[in-house]
């Protein structure tokens, strides 16, 4: 339970920031949000030191670490759903399904951007962005395609390892989509 504490905390802060903005128009700058998260995390970690004997930032072996990296991304991405369904996923296949669903979500954003670009609703520079989005999508699409093999064969350990580069690719894809939608 304690291992999920940080993730839950980060999700709660993030949801609070979105809620404050949407309901009251209160905008927390990135710096403010970061400060808030770090402050609460620091207090939380101090409390945890009193109630647990396990080092909080202890590193695991490579396979577990790879799996953990993947697990960190899932709850972050889960912010996109009410009730945080992804966060509840337990088995590797369920988590992979959740990750693939988030890819679907990002594709929806990407298709929306492309359509706006084609409709002339965006500056001409959007064409270059669409080109990059297509390339990034192609890489992700094939990476998922390769990882699907491990789902079919039930090779969960291989699946966890294969997911690491996919997670990184998804992060970059999300970053890029955020950047161009702010222009």
Q: Per rule CB under 8 A, is residue 150 in the interface with another protein?
A: no
Which uninterrupted H or E stretch holds 45? helix 30-51
Q: In this structure, are residues 180 and 126 in contact, taking their beta carbons and an 8 Å threshold? A: yes
Cα–Cα distance for residue pair 7/157, rounded to 1 Å: 23
Q: Per rule CB under 8 A, is residue 148 in the interface with another protein?
A: yes
What is the Cβ-side half-sphere exposure of residue 55, based on CA atoms within 13 angstroms? 4
- Rg value, the chain, Cα: 19
Counting every residue written for the chain, the total comes to 183
Q: Which one among 48, 151, 161, 164 touches another protein, defined by CB under 8 A? A: 151
Q: Which one among 104, 119, 120, 183 touches another protein, defined by CB under 8 A? A: 104
Q: Per rule CB under 8 A, is residue 66 in the interface with another protein?
A: no
Residues of the shown chain interacting with another protein in the complex, contacts defined by CB under 8 A? 6, 10, 14, 17-18, 30, 33-34, 37-38, 41, 72-73, 76-77, 79-81, 83, 85-86, 88-91, 93-94, 97-98, 100-101, 103-112, 114, 133-134, 137-138, 141, 144, 148, 151, 171, 174-175, 177-178, 181-182
């Amino acid at each position: 339970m304690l291992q999920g504490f940080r993730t839950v905390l980060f999700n709660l802060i993030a949801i609070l920031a979105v809620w404050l903005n949407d309901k009251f128009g209160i905008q927390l700058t990135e710096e403010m949000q970061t400060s808030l998260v770090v402050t609460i995390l620091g207090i939380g970690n101090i409390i945890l030191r009193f109630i647990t004997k396990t080092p909080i930032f202890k590193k695991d072996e490579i396979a577990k670490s790879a799996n953990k990296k993947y697990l960190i991304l899932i709850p972050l991405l889960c912010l996109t759903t009410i009730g945080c369904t992804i966060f509840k996923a337990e088995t590797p296949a369920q988590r992979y399904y959740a990750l693939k669903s988030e890819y679907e979500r990002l594709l929806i954003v990407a298709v929306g951007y492309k359509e706006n670009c084609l409709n002339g609703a965006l500056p001409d520079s959007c064409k270059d962005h669409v080109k990059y989005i297509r390339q990034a999508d192609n890489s992700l699409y094939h990476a998922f395609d390769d990882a699907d093999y491990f789902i079919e064969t039930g090779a969960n350990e291989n699946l966890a390892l294969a997911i690491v580069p996919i997670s990184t690719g998804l992060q970059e894809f999300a970053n890029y989509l955020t950047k161009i939608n702010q222009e």
